[in-house]
Structure 1
Amino acid sequence: MSFSDFIVYVDESGDHGLRNINREYPVFVLAFCICAKDAYQQTVVPAVQQLKLDFWGHDAVVLHSHEIRKSRGDFAILFDADVRARFIERLNGVMETADFTLIAAVIDKQRLVDRYAMPNDPYEIALGFCMERLQMFLAERGQVDRTTHLLIECRGRAEDDKLELEFRRIRDGDNRVGRMENLSIRFVDKKHNSPGLQLADLVAHPIGRHVIAPEQPNRAYEIVERKFRRNAGGGIDGYGLKVFPRP
């Protein structure tokens, strides 16, 4: 099987445990950033690299949304309000111009345990939703006869092995669209400093925040929202964004 024209970067926000649910962030978010390989190579990677060179003088920094919000590690430079304002403006610009399609699933963990006596793992639920919609996206573009790689950051051997088993279960037919033998998973160490994985990290948290408090101003989500996969009428609900369980 030849390779498809797309590559998928996967990241999450929040933990997928159902014990001791964080009342401030009671959701688990899984985000798939689908990049056309030519656009990724020609525009996304250079834009991310240039941002790092301009603010740190090198490109070894790994963009991480939690560290950016907390001004930790390399992002201690953001304690300077002027630097922070300039950095956020540039980062928003990179996200706005980045050419990718977004598919995401948000699992409301509190609603899940309230509604189901024996709920499944939120990661497994979200992965199934996202893989199904990814396969539909690829089918629409005539790519299902080619291998599409999903890149996921390593989290630890036991967790990675568990996730790979779940991925294979869904891929091999335990889903609503049939077998997805064209999908392949690969775990990537953070030291590889993948711009695509950093892109996925940056989109996941704003999605969760929007679902928790849609009435609150959320500039990052406004940018992200434009990237979602949409139906013929332009809607994203259940198409590019799946929230489960529903209220």
Structure 2
Amino acid sequence: MLVYIDESGDAGFRVDHGSSPVFVVAMVIFDTVEAAADVRRLIETSPARRLHKGEFKFSKSRDDVRDLFFAAVSNAAFRVRAIVVQKDVIRSEHLRSDKESFYEFFVKQMLRHDSGRLDNAKVIIDGSGDREFRQKLSTEIKRKVRDGAVRDCRFSDSKNDPLIQLADMCAGAVARSFRTDRRDAHRWRDMLRPRLDDVWQFH
């Protein structure tokens, strides 16, 4: 089993100065290596790729690219689980002031509340943060997630990994659905709906 993780939004709390009001972490679950390879090929040969040559990022993609991207993968063999954090419910001063702890906490929460879906998974996370943080996060995931769920945790540069980019696009689609100022808020989450296993709003 392979699991790819990325986020949408940021860990900042100065929403009135540009921080995102919502933070979303999404994991894309593949039961087999072959399924992951198939989806990688789907992305790289999709009409979206002909329009968009660089890294797929939800926040930087045009609407037509998003449409073609999700149309290409909507029937593929993967599942998406996400945790949605409305920042105004967070009272912990530690989480509000320490961005690395904030990120680590919610990645672990998502992996721990997996409804038994994870089984001996190799987890691949977008490789942001310095080396020390990545090592700490990897160790914490393997220690704090239930026995048998995760066998390995590694990091990958999203620029060169279409499956990390898929996780970014999925996280972005879920995050957009919580925007109250956009008429198209649910447009891409609706396209992704056949692949959504769970979207958990943290309280």
- TM-score normalised by the chain length of structure 2: 0.79
5+ residue gaps, structure 1: 1-5, 70-83, 139-143, 172-177, 230-239
Equivalent residue, structure 1, for 2:165: 198
In structure 2, C-alpha distance between the alignment counterparts of 1:107 and 1:159, rounded to whole Å: 21
CA contact (8 A) 1:103 1:133 kept: no
1:25 to 14, 20, 44: 20
Structure index of larger Rg: 1
CA contact (8 A) 1:149 1:185 kept: yes
What is the aligned-residue RMSD (CA, Å)?
A: 2.9
Equivalent residue, structure 1, for 2:76: 98
In structure 2, C-alpha distance between the alignment counterparts of 1:225 and 1:24, rounded to whole Å: 27
5+ residue gaps, structure 2: none
Equivalent residue, structure 1, for 2:90: 112
Distance 1:212 1:219, change over 3 A: closer
SS of residue in 2 equivalent to 1:137? coil
CA contact (8 A) 2:174 2:189 kept: yes
Q: Which runs of 4+ in 1 moved over 6 A?
A: none
In structure 2, C-alpha distance between the alignment counterparts of 1:46 and 1:118, rounded to whole Å: 42
Equivalent residue, structure 1, for 2:190: 222
Whether 1:125 and 2:105 are equivalent positions in the alignment is yes
In structure 2, C-alpha distance between the alignment counterparts of 1:60 and 1:100, rounded to whole Å: 24
Cα shift readout 1:182-225 (whole Å, capped 9, x = no counterpart): 4310111235x222111101010121122343984321111223
SS of residue in 1 equivalent to 2:20? coil
* Matched pairs, number: 195
- TM-score normalised by the chain length of structure 1: 0.67
In structure 1, C-alpha distance between the alignment counterparts of 2:95 and 2:26, rounded to whole Å: 21
Report % sequence identity.
23
2:200 is matched by which residue type in structure 1? K
1:12 is matched by which residue type in structure 2? E
CA contact (8 A) 2:158 2:165 kept: no
CA contact (8 A) 1:9 1:150 kept: yes
